Structure 1
């Protein structure tokens, strides 16, 4: 599989139809992931974590190398995420910029082993002053080798999602 250059991504279509579905009920026919953990308390902690997430901090903090078309995630930003020997191309499909919920979701592009979408976010719960890191995703195999690896790829996705949450 040829590694794509960041400059080659702008004309590529997303590899799935349910764009934006991590914002609501996850679509049927996909593997679903939702990881969430309390990461601190207070508005200051929320703002710090939100700033980190928007600058690809969940990905980098989990050990991924990130090459992106923007320093801060924005709709249309293209990104190549490399974790170990695997590099995957994605595009930011929406951004959350609410007072108590911030983050972004990206979708898969051709060359990614999976098809689907992943949301990286932080949420502030004013009721108990707690800040949560969250990862929500839906995916299915998009390459022959990910289908062949079957359950292993699902396990890897869960492990990496936990790393993303701990990274913030």
Structure 2
């Protein structure tokens, strides 16, 4: 008997891979972290081990050690004992020669509705390596609707912090 999975909270599952859908806030941060194929591989390993979420301090639990399509995970958003658990599921993983990472989408109980991609890119033309975080989202709870632009500002701030967790080279 097949396991029944909780549905995502949005219809545009996988859209971080292509064109973001209308009706969502959009976020894209890309930053150079250094040079070399070795750095690219290290950063990919970090991302797949939920290193960005752990490095920012929001990782709570995942049902696999590394990101795989279908992995369910929970991040915890908040400060100290005041916080909200936010369930997600990995939508897809990228295992391309010059691009690695994964995207997760929101499940019921998450304060936002949408999807976020965490990736590293290697440019063989100049040997450069870039971290990338992209997302589309909209409020999924009354308190995120009430927070408006402040919530989007926090999302941008966390995206910058995600990139700061990546290994770098000089």
Instruction: Answer yes or no: same fold by TM over 0.5.
Output: yes
Structure 2 Cα separation of the partners of residues 66 and 99 of structure 1: 30
Query: What is the count of residue pairs matched by the alignment?
Result: 159
Deviation string 1:32-64 (CA, Å, 9 cap, x unpaired) is: 000110111100000000001000011111222
The CA deviation at 1:166 is 1.1
Answer yes or no: is 1:165 the counterpart of 2:159.
no
Runs of 4+ in 1 over 4 A off after TM superposition: none
Equivalent residue, structure 1, for 2:33: 39
Answer yes or no: is 1:81 the counterpart of 2:81.
no
The CA deviation at 1:131 is 0.6
Structure 2 Cα separation of the partners of residues 22 and 54 of structure 1: 17
State the TM-score, normalizing by the size of structure 1: 0.92
1:69 and 1:79 in contact (8 A); partners too: yes
Answer yes or no: is 1:96 the counterpart of 2:94.
yes
Gaps of 5+ in 2: none
State the TM-score, normalizing by the size of structure 2: 0.91
1:135-154 matches, cutoff 5 A: 135-154=133-152
The CA deviation at 1:86 is 2.6
Answer yes or no: is 1:124 the counterpart of 2:133.
no
Equivalent residue, structure 2, for 1:60: 54
The CA deviation at 1:12 is 1.6
Gaps of 5+ in 1: 1-9
Structure 1 Cα separation of the partners of residues 129 and 85 of structure 2: 30
1:56 and 1:66 in contact (8 A); partners too: no
CA RMSD, 1 decimal: 1.0
Equivalent residue, structure 2, for 1:5: none
The CA deviation at 1:17 is 0.3
* Secondary structure in structure 2 of the residue aligned to 1:164: helix
Structure 2 Cα separation of the partners of residues 124 and 96 of structure 1: 13
Structure 2 Cα separation of the partners of residues 125 and 34 of structure 1: 18
